[in-house]
Structure 1
């Protein structure tokens, strides 16, 4: 089995993803990841010269969404109509951080 990733690579990946690994786990993870890479090696045996990349399995899928057309929205008064508490044209909500109180 060719080693594609080193233990240094695995430590870097673990640090980047904020996963704490012991020295033994780094060794095991390195072996596991290299085994996964080796299991994918048969893909490299296909002759893909001249094969166009496929970006979607359905092919020429087009956007079926409606056009983004600007239309009138709520007025500030309408948006605040059902607000349990408001102040100066804004929603007044209880603070979830700090000393408490409304914000």
Structure 2
């Protein structure tokens, strides 16, 4: 198998990607990356001169979302109507930061 990347390259890539590799993992990762690169070698047999890149396999897609139309919202009283607890026009929820009580 051809050596496309060295252990030095793998260490540099890992450092750039902020991936911590132990010393015993570097040879395995080097072999894996070289195998992946080697598996792509058959793509080199195709003559792609002048072929336009395809950015999306299904051309001519249109937005299928509805238009963004502004609609009237709830009043504050309507929003708080089913709230278990409200205070001064706001929802009261249990504290999650360990301070106890409701906020």
Global fold match (TM > 0.5) = yes
Residue in 2 aligned with 1:61?
61
Residue in 1 aligned with 2:4?
3
Whether the 8 Å contact between 2:4 and 2:37 is mirrored in structure 1 is no
Instruction: State the superposition RMSD in angstroms.
Output: 2.1
Which stretches in structure 1 are left out of the alignment for 5+ residues?
none
2: CA distance, partners of 1:68 / 1:44: 46
| TM-score of the pair, normalised by structure 1 | 0.78
For residue 53 of structure 1, report the CA deviation from its aligned partner. Answer: 2.0
For residue 32 of structure 1, report the CA deviation from its aligned partner. Answer: 0.6
Residues 51-96 of structure 1: CA distance to partner in whole angstroms, max 9, x if unpaired? 2222222211111221111111222221121111122222111111
Compared with structure 1, are the counterparts of its residues 94 and 87 closer, same or farther at alpha carbon in structure 2 (3 Å cutoff)?
Answer: same
Residue in 1 aligned with 2:23?
23
- Matched positions, count: 100
Instruction: Give structure 1 regions of 4+ aligned residues with deviation exceeding 4 angstroms.
Output: none
1: CA distance, partners of 2:42 / 2:32: 18
